[in-house]
Amino acid sequence: MAHSAQAPTFNVRQIVPTAENKEDLTKLESISELREIENMLVASFGEPEDLFTAVVTGKRGMGGSQELSGPFWKSTVVAGLLGGEVYIAETFTAPKKIVGCAVWFGPGRAMYDSPDQQAMALGPLMGLFEPPLQAWWGNFFLPLYNKFTSSALGEGTKLGSWHLQTLGVHPEYQRQNVGKHLVDVVAAKATLNHIDMVVECSKEVNVDIYRRLGFETRMPKYKENVPESPSKYDFAEIIKGVHNTLEFPIWVLLRKT
């Protein structure tokens, strides 16, 4: 006897701020879902602790306080509310619970690319960082990140695509297709309009997940002596943290439409 696929226990919807919400950060923070999204992302990338988050928030080692994790992930969501699209997955049953979130930027837009994003998303985050970490972001991390993605994808490809900036699923709901649904909601219109999709990730397991969703790893052109049959790590760039005590790999993947 054939078994039908289990129906999802969650719904995907977009969080759309009003024009008034976008006027200043206090009004944007009044969006009822924002705090819950932040807490969900902290759980998503904190159990176990995420190496990428630890590095970009300036930690010297794993473990201990993750006090900057929330502000970092909140910054990506605020940027998405202002310049992109933010989708959540929430349970059907009351009390509803946000179990996943995706932040997308459409063609022609990018995170922190506008004065409002810089004032309400990037600025508050940088204000929490010590000067050495601020300098690391501006002088090392972002330039290397941009060099890597541009070399791997081709100049202008990322900006011309739908870019998945953030995707997090609560640990209790992982491996239940929550992430797939948060990708599919944008993939449908990307495919309709023949627009490619781009994502970066910093965990090997996520490379496999995105490959199953139709994305392909891209090799940066500046890499030399690449094996004829490259391993997964041959596609990655390694980014060292501000203290040179932690580092993480990063991959960029493209889904053609």
* pLDDT tens-digit series, residues 80-130: 999 999 999 999 988 899 999 999 999 999 999 999 999 999 999 999 999
Whether CATH 3.40.50.150 fits 10-255 = no
pLDDT (0 to 100) of residue 174: 94
Side chain identity, residue 114? S
pLDDT (0 to 100) of residue 7: 65
- For 152, other C-beta atoms within 10 Å of its C-beta total 25
- For 14, other C-beta atoms within 10 Å of its C-beta total 12
Q: From residue 77, how far is each of 232, 235, 254 by CA, in Å?
A: 29, 28, 22
DSSP string across 62-79: SSS--TTHHHHHHHHHHH
Side chain identity, residue 229? S
Query: What average pLDDT does the segment 213-231 reach?
Result: 94
The residues, ordered by sequence, that sit 6+ positions from 224 with a Cβ below 8 Å of its Cβ are none
pLDDT (0 to 100) of residue 66: 87
Beta strand pairing call for 216-217 and 247-255: antiparallel
- For 147, other C-beta atoms within 10 Å of its C-beta total 13
pLDDT per position as a tens digit, 13-60: 999 999 999 999 999 999 999 999 999 999 999 877 899 999 999 999
Segments making up each domain of the chain, as ranges? 10-255
Q: At what angle do helices 69-83 and 33-44 cross, to 10 degrees?
A: 130
Query: What average pLDDT does the segment 195-212 reach?
Result: 97
pLDDT (0 to 100) of residue 4: 44
Side-chain-side CA neighbours of 124 within 13 Å: the count stands at 20
Q: What are the residues facing 118 on neighbouring strands? A: none
pTM summary value: 0.94
Closest CA to 73 of 99, 111, 37, 108: 37
254 sits in which H/E element: strand 247-255
Return d(Cα 112, Cα 125) in angstroms, integer: 12
Give the tokens for residue 88: 């959540």
Say if residue 5's pLDDT is above 60.
no
Q: From residue 87, how far is each of 84, 101, 186, 220 by CA, in Å?
A: 10, 6, 9, 30
Cis amide bond preceding 95, omega within 30: yes
pLDDT per position as a tens digit, 155-185: 999 999 999 999 999 999 999 999 999 999 9
